[in-house]
Amino acid sequence: MEGVTFAEFAATRLPRLLRYAVVLTGDRELAQDVVQDVLARAQVRWRKIASADSPDAYVRQMVLNEYLSWRRRWAVRHVRAVGERLLDLSDGRGASRDHADAVVDADDVWNRLATLPRKQRAVLVLRYYEQLDDDEIAALLGCARVTVRSNASKALKTLRLQSERHQVTVTGDI
C-alpha cells in the first residue's frame, strides 16, 4: 500500500470506506459528508498519508475522528426512512417470510443503534463490524481498554433493554 497514489487509493478503497462510514454513522448523508471532508483533507496531505504504514488505516481513523467530532444534528434524521427502505427492498425482491423477519429485525436494531451515543456506537462498529479487539479500539479512540469495554457493555445493555421494551409493547398490542 505504501507509495500508492491517491487515485489508486480511491479506486480500490473508497467503496469499502463508504460502507464503513455508513455503518459507523448510520446515516447515508452523514456518511457522505464525513467521507467527502476526509477525502478532501487526505488529498491535500496525501504525501504524508501514503508514507504511513497503512494509508487505509490512516484514512479510516480520519473517518472515525470526523464522525466523533461531527457537530451537525444528524441523529434520527433518516433512521425511519432507512428502515423502511431496507424492508421495501427486501419485499420487492419477493423474499421469504423468514428473510423478511430478519430484515425487520435488522431495521429494528439499526434504528436502536441510532439512539446510542456516538462513542458507544463506534465501539460496537469497531468491535463487531471491523472485528477489532479492545486494545486496538482503545488505541483508535484514544482511551483506556476499560473504557472500551464499558462503552460496549452500556451499548449492548441499551440495545437489549430497548428490544425487551419493544417486545413487551408488541406483546401488549396483541
Partner 1 sequence: MHDDIEQLNETFAAHEYLAPDAGDVLEKANAIARTYCRRRLAARATGATVLGAGLVAGGIALPRLHWRSDSGGVAIGQAASGDGAPALFGTPSSAATPSPVPSPIVSGSPPASPSPSVSASPSVSASPQSFNEQQELAAYFADGYDYDNAVQLSALWNVSDIQTVKAEAGLKLLQGEALPVFPSGTPETSQEKALNAYFAAGYDYNDALTLGTLWHETDVTQIKTDAGQKLLDGQTLPIAPTTPTAPVASASDAASDPAATAAWAAYFAHGYTYNDAVTLGTLWHETDTDQIKMEAGQKLLDGQTLPIAP
The site for partner 1 (CB under 8 A) is made up of 4-10, 14-15, 18-19, 21-23, 26, 28, 31-32, 35-41, 43-48, 50-51, 82, 85-86, 89, 102-103, 105-106, 109-110, 113, 124-125, 128-129, 156, 159-160
Nearer to partner 1, 3 or 172 (CB): 3
CB of 118 to partner 1, least distance (A): 16
Separation CA 108–CA 103 (nearest Å): 8
Ordered DSSP codes for 30-51: HHHHHHHHHHHHHHHTHHHHHT
Residue 161: helix, strand or coil by DSSP?
A: helix
* Cα angle 166-108-168, degrees, rounded to a multiple of 5: 10
Closest CA to 59 of 45, 69, 73: 45
CB of 104 to partner 1, least distance (A): 11
Q: What are phi and psi of 52, to 5 degrees?
A: -70, 160
* Phi-psi map region of 131: left, alpha, beta (phi>0 left; psi -120 to 50 alpha): left
CB of 137 to partner 1, least distance (A): 15
CB of 145 to partner 1, least distance (A): 19
Closest CA to 121 of 88, 85, 165, 76: 76
Separation CA 123–CA 148 (nearest Å): 7
CB of 29 to partner 1, least distance (A): 8
Nearer to partner 1, 157 or 168 (CB): 157
